Structure 1
Amino acid sequence: MFDSDGSLIDEIEKEIQREKNQFFWKRYKKFLIAASIALVFITISLELYQWNMIHKAASDGDSFIDSIRLGKDIRSDQILAKLREKGRGVYKVLSNLLTASKLANIGELEKAVKQYNIVINNISVDRNFRDIARIRSGMILVDIGSIEDVKEIVGPLVRPEGAYKYSAQEVLGLAYLKIGDFQKAFQQFSALQKEEGIPAGLEDRVQIMLELIKSGGATTE
């Protein structure tokens, strides 16, 4: 009898639970269905967003390559203009750098410096790209700027751990040479020559500059 009563109680409890479940479902089914649809929609949206970003990045990469392939063709400039405005990630930065380089090549030096400054002043850009822009801008400023302009741009790169410290020192030496300060130019190139780990090509250029300064009879002490 006890077992029978126990089974009966179990059946009653199960029935009560079924009724509760049915009541819960009837009351909240619209909410649950809406929530499930929303979850599916969010998942699909995230996947679409990720796919879209990957697709756009790949598209930007193709466009950048096209701009290089087209060279001096006006279409290259149009592609770069679009990438500078709407490009994503590294391709936006590369489009700025390539635009600056092209401007420098056709003698638009002030415009080139302004283009490099866009990269330099954007702290969200990878430091390597900003440092490259500093070196390229500094080289132009040797011709069109003052020694202070050059120092301001490449000076921050002359640090012990700097990846471009040797190039920055070379630019400073050229800037002193440009304004006729042969003593400081000689000191700059001499210090650079003594640096450990200086690249062979740069070492050769430094040696040539030192010999030119000496052969010119300029004061080096």
Structure 2
Amino acid sequence: MADIFDEVEEDLRRARFEQFWKKYWPVVVAVAAVIVIGVGGWRFYEWRQDQQSAAAGGRFEAALRLSRTNSAEAEAQFAAIAADAPSGYRILARLRQATEIGSRDKAAGAQAFDAVAADPAVGALFQDIARIRAGYLLVDSAPPAEIASRVEQLTGAGLPFRHSARELMALAAMRAGDKAGAEKWVQAIQADPETPQGLRGRAELIATVMAGK
């Protein structure tokens, strides 16, 4: 008897499935097609992004090599990469383009870095890098207040670029003859146990120079 009931139950399930399929097969086929097309489209998009990134990487490396011998041409190539490469290489190219500009015109290079620093789309890390790079270009010519406007916000404990920012503040104070200001930033550099050894040595040199004034 159990076998009979099992067969009846199986027949009922088969009948319900056939009814469901007759009623909804177009929907099932359409959903399956959408899934297949969607997965295929995403895979193509990923492949296309990989191809574009690889191409941009090759162009970026070629521009880096060129920068050793022809800064003007490298600058043009970095500008082209910044215009049409995937976002990561666009940002790197903008920074390198600003570096090339700064090698011939420090003020213009600082303006290029300032443009990156003012662009929230590049992300906080690259904005801070741009602020530091602009500071190094201008530290020999700009007043301390201008250097501070770019980098003082980066000097706080635990911030990733605090060491460079503190050095810039110390250099700006030294150049302006601000003994107290230079001493303040030298002490901040020396008090930080994570200060790189090379920077620590440069801070001692600043302190020595200021002690003679």
- How far residue 171 of structure 1 moved from its aligned partner, in angstroms, is 0.6
Between the aligned partners of 1:194 and 1:23, the Cα distance in structure 2 is 80
> 2:48 is matched with which residue?
52
My pick for the range that moved more, 164-173 or 68-77, is 68-77
Q: How far apart, in 2, do the equivalents of 1:86 and 1:77 lie? A: 15
* 1:17 shift after superposition: 6.2
Query: How far apart, CA to CA, are the structure 2 residues paired with 1:196 and 1:129?
Result: 25
- Name structure 2 gaps, 5 residues minimum: none
Aligned residue in 1 for 2:160: 163
Residue 101 of structure 1 is matched in structure 2 by 99
CA deviation profile, 1:25-53 (whole Å, cap 9, x unmatched): 44443333332222211110011111112
Return the offset for 1:159: 0.8
What SS does the corresponding residue of 2:177 show, helix, strand or coil? Answer: coil
Tell me: CA distance 1:7–1:173, structure 2 relative to 1, closer, same or farther (3 Å). closer
CA drift at 1:193: 3.1
Cα distance in 2 for residues equivalent to 1:13 and 1:153: 77
The separation in 2 between residues aligned to 1:191 and 1:33, in whole angstroms, is: 69
Alignment partner of 1:150 out of 127, 144, 147: 147
Cα 1:11–1:202 change in 2 (3 A) is closer
> TM-score under structure 2 normalisation?
0.81
State the 4+ residue runs in structure 1 displaced beyond 6 angstroms: none
| In structure 1, C-alpha distance between the alignment counterparts of 2:137 and 2:76, rounded to whole Å | 24
What is the aligned-residue RMSD (CA, Å)? 2.9
Pairwise CA distance, 1:19: 6.0
Moved more, 178-187 or 61-70: 178-187
Higher radius of gyration, 1 or 2 = 1
Taking a change above 3 Å as real, the CA distance of residues 13 and 168 of structure 1, as seen in their structure-2 partners, is: closer
Which TM-score applies when normalising by structure 1?
0.79
Matched residue of 2:140: which SS? helix
- The match for 2:59 is 63
The alpha-carbon deviation at position 136 of structure 1 amounts to 1.2
CA gap 1:31/1:198 in 2 versus in 1, 3 angstroms? closer
What is the deviation of 1:190? 4.0
| Gap change, CA 1:39 and 1:70, over 3 Å in 2 | same
What is the Cα deviation at residue 139 of structure 1?
1.6
Counterpart for residue 117 of structure 2: 120
Equivalences, count: 210
Distance 1:122 1:169 in 2: 23
Q: Is the 8 A contact 1:190 1:210 kept in 2?
A: no
Determine if the alignment matches structure 1 residue 39 to structure 2 residue 30. no
2:81 equivalent in structure 1: 83
1:57, CA displacement in angstroms?
1.8
Answer whether contact 2:179 2:210 (CA < 8 A) is retained: yes
> Are the counterparts in 2 of residues 67 and 80 from structure 1 also a CA contact under 8 Å?
yes
